[in-house]
Amino acid sequence: MATKLITAVNGVDLSRLTETIEAVKAAPELGRFKFRIQNRWIGGGQNRSKVQQFSAGGKETQHQTDFTLEADEHDVLLGTDIAANPVEHLLHALASCVTTSMVYHAAARGIPIKQVESSLEGDLDLRGFLGLAPSVRKGYQQIRLKLRVKADLTNHELQDLASLGPSFSPVFDSITKGVPILVSIERIA
């Protein structure tokens, strides 16, 4: 009786995943990445960002497609509402990174997932942004992330699965632990 070789779980190529893990174990510098965005203000609350090439393991890498991200504000926030606003983009980044992290780590453990959905809700008080109340935080005061997963797992296994996303997500880590941001400015000629 022939044994069926599993090559992918959750759409993740397990041989490539294993190769990547082993390569980074052997040469940790291969795990260093640098991502870049170039942003331009359009007017009012509207901004447009173009995703740039990135550095992967010290080697510059081009995306296969050009990616443009749009941001604006809703009318109530004085924008034209032609795109999600920056704090909505943050929720999207968090949702997609937690989901991807959970799915990849589940694949590495051989845990098949049939479906993942998430809903996020964040509380923000405009008094902080407007400088009206110095004690009010300018950013989110709390974010609630609810995952809905379809998988053949016990309740305990489902809870363990849910912990994988937040445990390994770079965006979750950046938001919850903070990250130094160096700001500089130069004059446009």
pLDDT tens across the length of the chain (189 residues): 555 556 889 999 999 999 999 999 999 999 999 999 999 999 999 999 999 999 998 899 999 999 999 999 999 999 999 999 999 999 999 999 999 999 999 999 999 999 999 999 999 999 999 999 999 999 999 999 999 999 999 999 999 999 999 999 999 999 999 999 999 999 999
Give pLDDT, residue 68: 96
Cβ of 63: how many Cβ atoms within 10 Å? 10
Candidates 156, 148, 147, 157; CA nearest to 111 is 157
Q: Are residues 76 and 100 in the same domain?
A: no
Residue after which a domain boundary falls, among 30, 50, 83: 83
Give pLDDT, residue 3: 57
Residue after which a domain boundary falls, among 66, 83, 100: 83
Q: Per the domain annotation, does 93 fall within a domain?
A: yes
Q: Per the domain annotation, does 68 fall within a domain?
A: yes
Give the Cα separation of 66 and 59 in Å (integer): 19
Q: Per the domain annotation, does 187 fall within a domain?
A: no
Give pLDDT, residue 58: 84
Q: What is the pTM of this model?
A: 0.91
Give pLDDT, residue 57: 87
Range of the domain at 34: 8-83
Q: Per the domain annotation, does 186 fall within a domain?
A: no
DSSP element (H, E) containing 170: helix 170-177
Q: Per the domain annotation, does 160 fall within a domain?
A: yes
| DSSP helix/strand/coil, 128 | helix
| DSSP helix/strand/coil, 87 | helix
| DSSP helix/strand/coil, 178 | coil
Instruction: State the CATH number of the domain containing residue 74.
Output: 3.30.300.20
The CA distances from residue 9 to 16, 73, 109, 152, in Å, are 12, 39, 9, 14
**Token pair 């009786």: residue:** 1
